[in-house]
Amino acid sequence: MKTLLEFDYKKATQVINYLAKKEGGSIDKLKLIKLIYLADRFHLRRYGRPMINDAYFAMPLGPVGSSVKDIVDSTVFLADQEKQYAQSYIRQGSQANSVQSVNEVQEDLFSQSELDALNFSYNQFGKYPASKLVNITHRYPEWRKFKGAFDSKETTREPMTYSDFFNDPINNGEDKFALGKDILDASKEIFTENYQVAQYWL
């Protein structure tokens, strides 16, 4: 997945921190990763840009933000400054596969629209456990296009495309991401224009 701008590791760390705080100070890693994807889906569809410019991959358990996962797991792929910054705000939780907040959230890094997206994600989906969120994320077209390949074990990871986030699920009942055609078309136009500008400077 090509992103419009460079990955924003400071904002990504604060997104993790914010959702951990929402969960009472510590949050399951898989749940966290799904909530961030759902917030990004909301923000992209409504405002025409992703929040932290992560590269998403479809995996059997749903979409995964690659760089967010590196921060959550404190992997060797993090640059020193990224790791040092993250360690100032989050750490491995006391429960297995959890991440814990250890500092206040730098909310000044967020726009109001990004706070709206994070609150939407947590208010709509935060009550569910990770296993339920996996099933929810499987409803959306940007992941479902790979379902057959996952079911047949042909692959375990495929790059996702932000433009697919604008597609609506088919015959799926209530869709919490539903928008009027005019809003969705306007957001997609903003995204497309920004992507073309970004491509020019590559």
For the chain, give every domain's residue range: 9-201
| pLDDT over 90 (residue 171) | no
Express each pLDDT in 41-69 by its tens digit.
999 999 999 999 999 999 999 999 999 99
Confidence of residue 195 (pLDDT cuts 50, 70, 90): confident
More confident residue, 135 or 193: 135
Least confident of 134-148, 161-175, 179-193: 161-175
* Residue that the structure tokens 């539903």 belong to: 178
| pLDDT over 60 (residue 191) | yes
> What DSSP line would sit under the chain, residue for residue?
---SS---HHHHHHHHHHHHHHTTSEEEHHHHHHHHHHHHHHHHHHHSS-SS-PPEEEETTEEEEHHHHHHHHT-TTS-HHHHHHHHTTEEE-SSTTEEEE-S---GGGS-HHHHHHHHHHHHHHTTS-HHHHHHHHTTSHHHHTTHHHHHTTS-S-EE--GGGGGSPPSS-S--TT---HHHHHHHHHHHHHHHHHHHHH-
Least confident of 85-94, 145-154, 170-179: 170-179
| pLDDT over 80 (residue 201) | no
More confident residue, 151 or 202: 151
d(Cα 17, Cα 86) in Å, to the nearest integer? 9
Q: What pLDDT, on a 0 to 100 scale, did the predictor assign at position 194? A: 82
Q: How far is CA 70 from the centre of its chain?
A: 13
| pLDDT over 50 (residue 183) | yes
What is the reported pTM? 0.93
Residues 28-50: b if buried by 16+ CB within 10 A, e if exposed: bbbbbbbbbbbbbbbbbbbbbbb
Least confident of 68-72, 85-89, 127-131, 170-174: 170-174
Q: Give the largest CA-CA distance in the chain.
A: 46
